[in-house]
Structure 1
Amino acid sequence: MTALTVQLGDYPHTRPLKAGTIPVEGVTCRFTETAPLHRAFARMVRDLEFDVCELALATYLQAREAGVPITLLPVVLIGGTHHGSLTRLPDGPALAPADLAGRRVGVRAYSQTTGLWVRGILREEYGLESSDVTWVTTEEPHVRQYREPAYVTRSSAGRVADLLRDGDVAAAVLGPRAIGGQGEGLVPVIQDADAAARAYVERHGFVPANHVVVVRDDVLRAAPGAVRALYHALTEAIDATAAGRDDSPAGRAVAAGWSEELAGCLALASRYALEQELVRSPIDVGAIEKETDLLR
């Protein structure tokens, strides 16, 4: 029986695999736990520590460009809309997205996927280029080979929300979990953020993905049947838990299998990444799809 070391977050759609209620046929899975989860991403793209690993979408795009030997599995574990992720102090001065030109904005890492989507929104809907802002970060990129643009700087502050509350930045990008944690009490910079997010999803035809799944290339070559079995079990778990997910963007984002929505999401994220200097060369989404043929 093939053994795989697997790092996945704790979600309703991953628990059946971890509990063994949905078996991975012919495979012994050793599930590891990392808290916070994003700490595992650098360990994967720098040291290939896991056979299969959940990974932030922006990290995957950067790792692919850097030649890290991993392959995408067409699975979205979490996603959502991000018009509400750009936040400000509730009692601060009035601030519109266009007002951020020439100002400082906090984000955990410049390569954080939430920041990728927020900066894409700012350019697409408000004409604000990434280089118009100084991005103040608290963490380095996961991909060791990546070099940040000149308009990115590092802070010694522990948390992004602290940058905002200390007056070091005018606004802060916070992921969905941080909104209800360190971001408690902050408000969106974008007015009517929910309505703007609904219009964005309708316009593009998909909910933005945040975390996907990757496999080491050597594992895929050596044990394609085991990787297929894990992929099919994860697909089954996502299907089996569908009734428990609400119709929110986050609920609709969870999906398995190649689709027009996933292709569109990867294409737009790739374009945003190139515009923002997260990658320096175009990404071939068709080539990514072809790499997943072994899973069919």
Structure 2
Amino acid sequence: MTDHKLTLAMSESDRTLKLLTGARSIPGFAIDVQQESIEDIFVKQISQSAYDVSELSLASYLIARGGGDARLTAIPVFLSRSFRHNAIYVRSDSPWQHPSELKGRRFGFPEYQMTAAVWVRGMFRDEWGISNEDMQWFTFRPERVPVEIPATLTEGDIFEALAEGKVDAIMTARRPPAHLFPASGEGGVLRRLIPNVWEAEREYYGRTGIFPIMHLVSVKAQTAERYPELPKQLYQTMLDIKDEGIAGMLETIKNYTSAPFIWESVESSAKLMDGDLWPYGIKRNRAQIEKFITYLQADGLLHRSLSLEELFHDSVLDT
């Protein structure tokens, strides 16, 4: 019997590499891996449904579904999660040390609707007492899904704009270039806004239980209709790969990464997160996805509430 061909596009990580390299497979399917940047993957999938399976921005997926676009479905495999306190930068000569001090300032995002930006604006409101109307927003690339936004689209590079004083602070998922922000995080033109940022992120998690989801896995709706067993198979395969990746980081016969203190980091994370460092599935993530939906609504990017039952494929609703 000939395997069914699936086009697949994802970034490389310990959560995806075995699938991308063919070390793990999905029975009955031949995977055709598409090599693209993560930004290109997002644009092609949300605008064209270009892949049978792809990594996708949580915000873009929800905005599209809220607007009635049902070309994609999803499984609760969250390939990117990140606390974004550490992604807020200012100039090193800036006087500010806390987000609450940025009220009324010029704040830049790569894109207004990007998931990280939605989380950060939600934290400005919930954590730091600053409303959307209190800030001057700037963006540096066109919006992936056409939406009206209260931000000024600006030409040029977001990092250089901050360095040159064209904006007062930025949030960016990508680390600034080394000539502006050295590997040590100190002594460059730019610095992180929050001095004790790693402690701030742990405190945030301990108080809220939120480890912010950035990306999920989308499946073309036509593909899921043709192969209704695929979403659950894919979920289980990717869950196994993720769990194996975490186990690999804990193996002390060799260092799984090039980070010297990785075992200390993984063990302290396991202690803080009750053993589940990177939860997949709906049950463990329902509350924060529902909160994120309210953030999208507060931003004016989503004009109706969404239930998780309409967002995820029927076969994975019990996960």
C-alpha contact (below 8 Å) 1:106/1:171 kept by paired residues: yes
Q: Which residue of 2 aligns with 1:237?
A: 241
Structure 1 position 182, deviation (Å): 7.7
Structure 1 position 160, deviation (Å): 1.3
Q: How many angstroms apart in 2 are the aligned matches of 1:235 and 1:201?
A: 22
1:155 correspondence with 2:157 = no
Q: How does 1:62-77 map to 2 (within 5 A)?
A: 62-68=63-69, 69-77=71-79
Structure 1 position 295, deviation (Å): 8.5
Q: Which has the higher contact order (CA 8 A, sep 6+)?
A: 1
Q: Which residue of 2 aligns with 1:60?
A: 61
Q: Single out whichever of 37-46 and 278-287 deviates more from structure 2.
A: 278-287
Q: Which residue of 1 aligns with 2:287?
A: 264
Q: Single out whichever of 57-66 and 242-251 deviates more from structure 2.
A: 242-251
Task: Give TM-score scaled by structure 2 length.
Answer: 0.83
- Structure 1 pair 152–167 and aligned structure 2 pair: CA distance change class (3 A): same
SS at structure 1 position matched to 2:142 = coil
Aligned residue pairs total: 289
Q: Which residue of 1 aligns with 2:169?
A: 171
Q: How many angstroms apart in 2 are the aligned matches of 1:106 and 1:253?
A: 30
- Structure 1 pair 66–181 and aligned structure 2 pair: CA distance change class (3 A): farther
Q: Which residue of 2 aligns with 1:273?
A: 296
C-alpha contact (below 8 Å) 1:77/1:254 kept by paired residues: no
List alignment gaps of at least 5 residues for structure 2. 182-187, 250-264
Q: How many angstroms apart in 1 are the aligned matches of 2:145 and 2:170?
A: 23
Q: How many angstroms apart in 1 are the aligned matches of 2:90 and 2:127?
A: 19
SS at structure 1 position matched to 2:239 = helix
Structure 1 position 289, deviation (Å): 5.2
C-alpha contact (below 8 Å) 1:80/1:249 kept by paired residues: no
- Structure 1 pair 124–142 and aligned structure 2 pair: CA distance change class (3 A): same
Structure 1 position 113, deviation (Å): 1.4
- Structure 1 pair 156–180 and aligned structure 2 pair: CA distance change class (3 A): closer
C-alpha contact (below 8 Å) 1:238/1:256 kept by paired residues: no
Q: How many angstroms apart in 2 are the aligned matches of 1:182 and 1:111?
A: 28
Q: How does 1:196-207 map to 2 (within 5 A)?
A: 196-207=200-211
Q: How many angstroms apart in 2 are the aligned matches of 1:141 and 1:249?
A: 34
1:193 correspondence with 2:197 = yes
Q: How many angstroms apart in 2 are the aligned matches of 1:195 and 1:113?
A: 23
Q: Single out whichever of 251-260 and 115-124 deviates more from structure 2.
A: 251-260
Q: Which residue of 2 aligns with 1:212?
A: 216
- Structure 1 pair 289–19 and aligned structure 2 pair: CA distance change class (3 A): closer
- Structure 1 pair 12–85 and aligned structure 2 pair: CA distance change class (3 A): same
